[in-house]
Amino acid sequence: MHGYVQRVLGADDLSLADDASVDRYVAKQVQTAHHPSGTAAMSADPGSGVVDSTWRVFGTEGLRMADASIIPSSVRASTNLTCMIIGERVARLLAGTARKESVVERV
């Protein structure tokens, strides 16, 4: 890296000429950016999921879940847009404007 980068802002103790120093800096600064999802999957069966196709939580009354935890499998991208669509669908359902179709049964 020495010769390509002259200085890293906020890393005054970093020596770019020393690989061990660069390794320590990277280990200290780098972190993951994962998108946890699928921890409370949607399913038609209470035995294999947490919510049904209308986002009702099995075993409760009046509780719906609408976040990334209900996504049954990885979307292979940022979950932001998927969560926005889930929110839109739940909002339409609660407003009474949703189409009567089951998302889970089509999968």
Condensed to tens digits (0 to 9), the pLDDT of residues 84-95 reads 999 999 999 888
Residue 98's pLDDT band (boundaries 50, 70, 90)? Answer: low
Instruction: Specify the amino acid at residue 43.
Output: S
For residue 35, indicate whether it is catalytic.
Answer: yes
| Catalytic hit among 35, 56, 64, 89 | 35
Query: Tell me, what's the pLDDT at 79?
Result: 86
